[in-house]
Amino acid sequence: MFGRTLEQAMVWRATGARQRVFSWLPFLPFSPSPRLPFSPAPLLPFSLSPFLLVSLSLLTGCDLPGRPDPADRPVPADRVMDFDKLYRQNCAGCHGQEGKLGPAPPLHDPLFRALVPEEELKDIITKGRNKTLMPAFARENGGTLTAAQIQVLVNEIKGITYKIVDKQEPGLVSIEVVPDASGISPKWGMPAKAPEGLPSYREPSASAKGGDAGNKKKGAVVFARACAECHGNQGQGIGRGSEKVNTINDRVFLALMSNQVLRRYAITGRPDLGMPSFDARPGDPQFVPLTDREVTDLVALLASWRGE
């Protein structure tokens, strides 16, 4: 640079920089600017035209970039009709992930599914149970579910095949769930036929029996025959090692249980926890099943232990 003017030195350095940049252009995957003094060799022998992009996407089975997949579109909450999703979001927290082993009574219980009337089940889900932890799920009662979604739960629990129909009305599209022998099969299958002598789900009214709703003294006799072996002669529980288990004469425990829940347990037991039903006792093949009246008297005894 000695002997050059400052202007000449700046031109020389700029020219060298351009040459170094140009030396890399043949390896870049785009056409050079028309103002360049030469045309570097292209990386590919063809250009990626829109037609070529479409052809490649079809060959690979992919959608065009940016095109949404219909399967990924969010489903409005009131149009979710899949039983697994409805059950997981609304029922599993209390009744167990598979309808059993939860803090609330199991729903995936063949005897319960055969016992509970369809309309009764629908009414419970719709309105909940007063003075219990079972909430109302219908929208009109402060819940989140539509009538069609509740019907899906009812049909699945009761084992009724069904189909989902989009009902078109002027200015309105609604969903209806109707029975259909060739429709959707319940995930839990079909419940077994109810055994002979199965007590009624609901306690018979006092007027129908011509007496009170239950006799706790007679209930004590039933308890001694059917319950004391596991729960103690006064419901105080039994010893197991250094612990006392199966206590049921606890006022706090009974305060959380409605008479209907107690009746249901007396009939169905809790097979998920090893509690037998109304018609069997482990190791006693001669056990006589409880009658409807005996279940009613037994519930009267248990309710008296609340201190009512």
211, two tokens = 């007496």
Length of the chain: 308
How much is the average pLDDT of 9-19?
51
Residue 25 gets which letter from DSSP?
G
Which of 225, 299, 265, 226 minimizes the C-alpha distance to 115? 265
Helices 259-268 and 292-304, packing angle to 10 deg: 130
For the stretch 193-203, pLDDT in tens is 999 999 999 98
pTM of the model: 0.74
Sequence spans of domains, the chain: 6-70, 77-179, 206-304
184 compared with 73, residue with greater pLDDT: 184
* Calpha distance 141→123 (Å, rounded): 12
Q: Tell me the pLDDT of the chain averaged across its residues.
A: 84
Question: pLDDT tier at 169 (50, 70, 90 boundaries)?
Answer: confident
Question: Which pLDDT value is given to residue 22?
Answer: 47
For the stretch 78-130, pLDDT in tens is 999 999 999 999 999 999 999 999 999 999 999 999 999 999 999 999 999 98
261 compared with 131, residue with greater pLDDT: 261
* CATH 3.40.50.920 applies to domain 77-179: no
H or E stretch at 238: strand 238-240
24, two tokens = 């890399």
What is the DSSP pairing of strand 172-179 with strand 162-169?
antiparallel
Domains 77-179 and 206-304 share a fold: yes
Report how many helices (DSSP H) and strands (DSSP E) the chain contains, helices first.
13, 4
Tell me the fold of 206-304: Cytochrome Bc1 Complex; Chain D, domain 2 (1.10.760)
Question: Which pLDDT value is given to residue 108?
Answer: 97
For the stretch 214-253, pLDDT in tens is 999 999 999 999 999 999 999 999 999 999 999 999 999 9
Question: Which pLDDT value is given to residue 135?
Answer: 96
Report the share of the chain in percent with pLDDT over 90. 64
Per-residue pLDDT for 35 more than 70?
no
Question: Which pLDDT value is given to residue 131?
Answer: 80
Half-sphere exposure of 248 (CA within 13 A, CB side): 22
184, two tokens = 């959707």
Look at the alpha carbons of 89, 95, 96, 100 in this order and tell me if their dihedral is positive or negative.
negative
178, two tokens = 């109707």
